[in-house]
């Protein structure tokens, strides 16, 4: 499968074409229930993580919930 | 009285969106800061300086040496004497501003005491370090239609979101359920850059001023700031479909029965025990009958040391236990002291 180039939090990353947001989070070892994900500036709901695949040039912002204080 | 106040705050009221009218609103407002550590301490200090008329400060913990790099209200003697944070913070802020009411509460905020501790507040600012208290605050805010500001800081990052009931989004639109222990980074696992929580606290204080004078954002945004790498991100968080708190109005954290609970605090080998019946203990009597180990007393707690463990017991029955190594040993020590 071809790789596509995306940006995650501003950093370029190569991922396999057809990768879902869920798979990407798993690859990054991020628990999906603790983050907000924006896909091309649109906030995804938790259910959309597994239904959304990334394409070349996509921008993802993965914002982790901050618990301390 | 007004003339003196006007002079004291004039650089603030000179700012047109605040003005004298805004300054008067600040003076008439009650703001509660829950948690007086790093973020909460910075917020409380700036709100006291800003002239918030009544400041309620709730904290369950004692000042420790490893707080000093980031918790701006405390000094070395507070840590040496292990003063309760709420009391040390109040003493400090009374010297900052003697013209306002400052009300400290040395307490663990829970469903059974939140109505009493936050009575009469116009706004609550989050200075906590844990998710459980935030979920409780979120429920309470919607049950009472009082705004609150979620603030978090860990590592080199911070996050902030004003929550404005009756409208969402709310904390549970962001984080639907409290994650299991160990999932979120804490200041003990990830560390924290000292100025970061103070900067977040200053932002929260600014938002608090705006909310009090009615200048808050019409649609509050989630703001995420990575101070270390300078990434600032604003998110228009949507209301989550079926959100129990802001959509369905079910307040499960507020309705939870406060039971006897033992929780680990911040991973520094420290446990907290909150008893089921929150009646008042006779500390003098407990101290007098305790024959083992060293003990010291202050007006709000007794401290007992034995076998490398240190227990601090408050009059509401709550205790902090350090050095126990594991929960069972902490509970056993507590039971021996209190006679449960
Ligand atoms: Zn919500």
B127, B151 contact by CB (below 8 A): yes
Does CATH number 3.40.50.720 belong to domain B4-255?
yes
Average pLDDT over residues B68-76: 97
- In the three-class reduction of DSSP (H, G, I as helix; E, B as strand; rest coil), residue B192 is classed as strand
Same fold, B4-255 and B261-338: no
For the whole model, what pTM was predicted? 0.86
The per-residue DSSP string of B210-243 comes to HHHTT-S-SS--EEEEETTTTEEEEE-PPPPTT-
Give yes or no for B38 touching A (CB within 8 A): yes
How many residues are present in chain A? 69
**B39 pLDDT band (50/70/90 cuts)?**
very high
User: For residue A54, how many C-alpha atoms fall within 13 Å in the half-sphere facing its CB?
Assistant: 30
Q: Residue B205: phi, psi to the nearest 5?
A: -65, -40
The CA-based angle B132-B82-B36, given to 5 degrees, is 40
CATH of B261-338, one of 3.30.310, 2.40.160, 1.20.120, 1.20.1070: 3.30.310
Helix (H, G, I), strand (E, B) or coil at B133: helix
Q: Which residues pair with A62 in a beta bridge?
A: A37
Across chain B, what does the average pLDDT equal? Answer: 91
A3-64, which class in CATH?
A: alpha beta
Test B233 with A61 for CB contact under 8 angstroms: yes
Domain boundaries, given as residue ranges, for chain B: 4-255, 261-338
pLDDT in tens, B254-310: 998 655 677 776 556 788 888 766 567 888 888 887 877 788 888 889 999 888 889
Q: Which of A9, A43, A64 sits opposite B238 (nearest CB)?
A: A43
Q: Which residues of B are known catalytic residues?
A: 187
Task: Give how far the C-alpha of residue B20 lies from the chain's centroid of Cα atoms, to the nearest Å.
Answer: 30
Around ion ligand 1, residues with a beta carbon closer than 5 Å are B 168, 170, 172-173, 243, 246
What ipTM was reported for this prediction?
0.93
Asked whether the CA dihedral B125, B150, B225, B73 is positive or negative, the reply is positive
User: Is A34 in contact with B39 (Cβ distance < 8 A)?
Assistant: no
- DSSP lists the bridge partners of residue B54 as B30, B101
For A67, the closest of B186, B224, B241 (CB atoms) is: B186
CB nearest A66 (choices: B127, B158, B231): B158
Calculated CA dihedral for residues A44, A47, A48, A53, nearest 10 degrees: 130
Instruction: Give A14 to chain B, closest Cα distance, Å.
Output: 21
For residue B109, the tally of other CB atoms under 10 A from its CB is 23
Helix (H) or strand (E) run with residue B25 in it: helix B19-28
What is the per-residue pLDDT across B205-222, written as a single tens digit (0 to 9) for each?
999 999 999 999 989 999
């Amino acid at each position: 499968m071809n790789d596509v180039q995306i940006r995650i939090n501003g950093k370029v990353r190569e991922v396999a074409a057809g990768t879902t947001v869920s798979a990407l989070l798993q690859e990054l070892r991020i628990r999906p229930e603790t983050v907000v994900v924006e896909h091309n500036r649109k906030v995804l709901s938790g259910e959309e993580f597994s239904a959304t695949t990334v394409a070349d040039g996509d921008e993802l912002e993965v914002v982790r919930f901050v618990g301390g204080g | 009285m007004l003339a003196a106040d006007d002079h004291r705050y004039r650089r603030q009221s000179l700012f047109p969106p605040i003005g004298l009218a805004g300054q008067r609103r600040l003076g008439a407002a009650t703001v509660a800061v829950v948690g007086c550590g790093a973020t909460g301490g910075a917020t409380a200090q700036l709100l006291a300086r800003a002239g918030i008329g009544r400041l309620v400060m709730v904290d369950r913990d004692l000042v420790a040496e490893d707080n000093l790099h980031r918790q701006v209200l405390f000094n070395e003697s507070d840590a040496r004497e292990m003063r309760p944070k709420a009391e040390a913070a109040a003493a400090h802020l009374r010297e900052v501003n003697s013209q306002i009411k400052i009300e400290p509460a040395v307490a663990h905020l829970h469903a059974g005491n939140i109505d009493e501790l936050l009575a009469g507040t116009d706004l609550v600012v989050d200075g906590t370090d844990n998710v459980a208290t935030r979920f409780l605050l979120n429920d309470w805010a919607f049950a009472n239609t009082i705004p609150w500001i979620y603030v978090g800081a860990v590592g080199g990052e911070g996050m902030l979101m004003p929550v404005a009931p009756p409208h969402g989004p709310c904390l549970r639109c962001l984080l639907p359920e409290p994650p299991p222990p160990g999932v979120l980074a804490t200041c003990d696992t990830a560390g924290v850059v000292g100025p970061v929580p103070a900067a977040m606290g200053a932002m929260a204080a600014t938002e608090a001023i705006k909310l009090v004078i009615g200048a808050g954002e019409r649609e509050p945004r989630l703001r995420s700031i990575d101070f270390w790498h300078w990434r600032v991100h604003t998110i228009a968080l949507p209301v989550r479909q079926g959100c129990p708190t802001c959509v369905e109005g079910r307040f499960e954290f507020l309705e939870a029965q406060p039971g006897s609970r033992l929780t680990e605090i911040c991973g520094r080998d420290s446990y907290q025990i909150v008893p089921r019946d929150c009646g008042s203990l006779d500390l003098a009597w407990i101290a007098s009958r305790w024959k083992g180990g060293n003990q010291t007393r202050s007006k709000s707690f007794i401290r007992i040391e034995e076998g490398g463990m240190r227990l601090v017991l408050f009059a509401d029955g709550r205790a902090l236990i350090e050095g126990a190594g594991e929960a069972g040993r902490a509970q056993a020590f507590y039971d021996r002291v209190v006679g449960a």
